[in-house]
Amino acid sequence: MANFTYRALDQEGKIRKGMIDAPSRAQAIARIHDKKLMPIEVTASANGASARASRTDTQAATTTGKPVPFWQRGISFRRSVPRAAVAGMARQLATLLRAGLPLDQALYGLCGEGGKSPMTAIIGELREQILSGHELADGLAAFPGVFSSTFVAMVRAGESSGTLELIMERLASHLERQVELQRKVRAALAYPVLMLIVGTAVIVFLLYFVIPQVTKIFADMGKELPVPTQILLGLSDFLRSSWWAILLFALLVGVGFWRAGRTERGKRFLQRGLLRFPLFSGIYAPLLLGNMSRTLGMLLKNGVSLLKSLVIVKSISDNVILRNSIERMIDGVQAGHELSGFMDNELIYPHIARQMVTAGEKSGRLEDMLLWIADDCDSRVAARLHMLTALLEPIMILVLGSIVGFVVIAIILPIFEMSTLAG
């Protein structure tokens, strides 16, 4: 038995301190949970060494109200662990395993020297489970908000086949590709979005504050104002008197889209619109197909059966149309049909993708063809992003310049007329 001192939160959110005897730190944490407390810090003091762990636990009990071990809970770090951190963890773990370190020592090396990041806390929990005799995949499954079902399935396959370091390298490459693609999308949209925000703010400022002050001098002219000036003054008066209605309308539209996105019918309508909209379909559809193809290809390449791989891909898909298509694939594969026969949705699957899948099924190299399709989709997305960025920038400049030019003309025209009358 060892002595452990702890700090924990009770059900009222108050800090509780105490000491507990347990054979190991993992059992000490379990006993703390038995007291209906959430451990914040647990320190072993039996041999003078200390081990600290900080963790956030959003599910302290099951539906029956009884505390359960941490590896049986759906702990979520979705908001606090970025995908880049998961990719870095996978890459470093693969490197350490390649160097010949046992899994527990490799995880200990990843913990660092007293780091307090959420990923460090998760790695510490994973190491404890390994030392308790559990598999790494079981520990990863306890954090569904961090490690996807694809990640868990591939790690489980790697542990079964003795190729965990190879699996971790492939997972790291896969995640790094996703992170890089996300960065490209954000970088491509950053400039147009910034211009839109700044331009809108400038126009609102002009209409709400500047135009009313400048146009006061037109009130005493006693002459009908030019049409552009009348339009500008009408817009300014409408904005000043009905700004709350504009905000309310924008809020209602936002809430409407949000509520629609929470229903199957609404999701299908919005996602089908994205797939059909010419400006974004060239990015959205390849993103869906590329993510599906790469995930499915990696699972197949690492020994996961086609049927199980399809179930995993379906579980991580957020697109209703794609998910329905994968359901049909699952039913078809169970009935003994080929996968390519169910890739009939032209909004998602281009003709070349169907041909490649057909060739892969006939040659027995389906996983290689799926990975080729994923690489091709990545290239198409990168090219479309470059084109979209090159197209949006001049369009935004032209639109904003036209609006500002109209404002300037609407102000200058009455001034010219006043100068003419004065002359």
Over the stretch 360-404, which tens digit does the pLDDT of each residue have? 988 888 999 999 998 898 888 888 888 887 888 788 888 888 888
Amino acid residing at 138: D
Neighbours of 92 (CB within 10 A): 16
Encode pLDDT of 279-297 as tens digits. Answer: 778 888 898 898 889 888 8
d(CA 66, CA 109): 34
Residues 319, 295: contact at Cβ < 8 Å? Answer: no
Q: Which helix (H) or strand (E) holds 44?
A: strand 38-44
| pLDDT reading at 66 higher than 70 | no
Task: Give the list of residues 6+ apart from residue 277 with CB closer than 8 angstroms, or none.
Answer: none
Encode pLDDT of 165-209 as tens digits. Answer: 888 888 888 888 888 878 877 887 788 888 888 888 888 888 888
| pLDDT reading at 52 higher than 70 | no
Alpha carbon 50 to its chain centroid, in Å, reads 36
Average pLDDT over residues 307-322: 84
- Order across the sheet with 38-44: list the strands: 15-22, 2-9, 38-44
d(CA 116, CA 53): 8
Alpha carbon separation from 148 to 42, 70, 117, 231 (Å, rounded): 28, 17, 20, 55
Instruction: Please identify which residue in the block is written with the tokens 């197909």.
Output: 289
Amino acid residing at 108: Y
Encode pLDDT of 105-131 as tens digits. Answer: 888 888 764 456 788 888 888 888 888
d(CA 158, CA 281): 36
d(CA 206, CA 8): 55
Neighbours of 334 (CB within 10 A): 10
- In DSSP notation, 174-236 reads HHHHHHHHHHHHHHHHHHHHHHHHHHHHHHHHIIIIIHHHHGGGGTTS-SPPPHHHHHHHHHH
Supply the pLDDT for residue 79.
43
Question: Would you say how long the chain is, in residues?
Answer: 423
Supply the pLDDT for residue 76.
41
Taking the whole predicted model, whether its pTM rises above 0.85 is answered as no
Supply the pLDDT for residue 173.
86
Torsion, CA 279, CA 280, CA 286, CA 290, rounded to 10: 150
Residue 2 Rama label (left phi>0; alpha psi -120 to 50; beta): beta
Torsion, CA 83, CA 88, CA 90, CA 91, rounded to 10: 140
Q: Which helix (H) or strand (E) holds 323?
A: helix 320-334
Backbone angles phi, psi at 3, to 5 degrees: -95, 135
Supply the pLDDT for residue 60.
35
Amino acid residing at 153: A
Three-state DSSP at 41 gives strand
Could you tell me which CATH number the domain at 83-177 has? 1.20.81.30
- CATH value of 188-423 in 1.20.1260.10, 1.20.81.30, 1.10.10.10, 3.50.50.60: 1.20.81.30
Please, is 63 exposed, middle or buried when counting C-beta atoms within 10 Å of its C-beta (0-12, 13-18, 19+)? exposed
To the nearest whole number, what is the mean pLDDT of the chain?
Answer: 78
User: What pairing do the DSSP bridges indicate for beta strands 15-22 and 2-9?
Assistant: antiparallel
Average pLDDT over residues 248-274: 84
Confidence bin at 64 (pLDDT 50/70/90): very low
Average pLDDT over residues 78-104: 83
For residue 71, give the DSSP letter.
G
Alpha carbon 249 to its chain centroid, in Å, reads 28
d(CA 377, CA 354): 13
Alpha carbon separation from 15 to 7, 9, 40, 181, 211 (Å, rounded): 7, 5, 9, 43, 58
Supply the pLDDT for residue 1.
65
Neighbours of 280 (CB within 10 A): 15
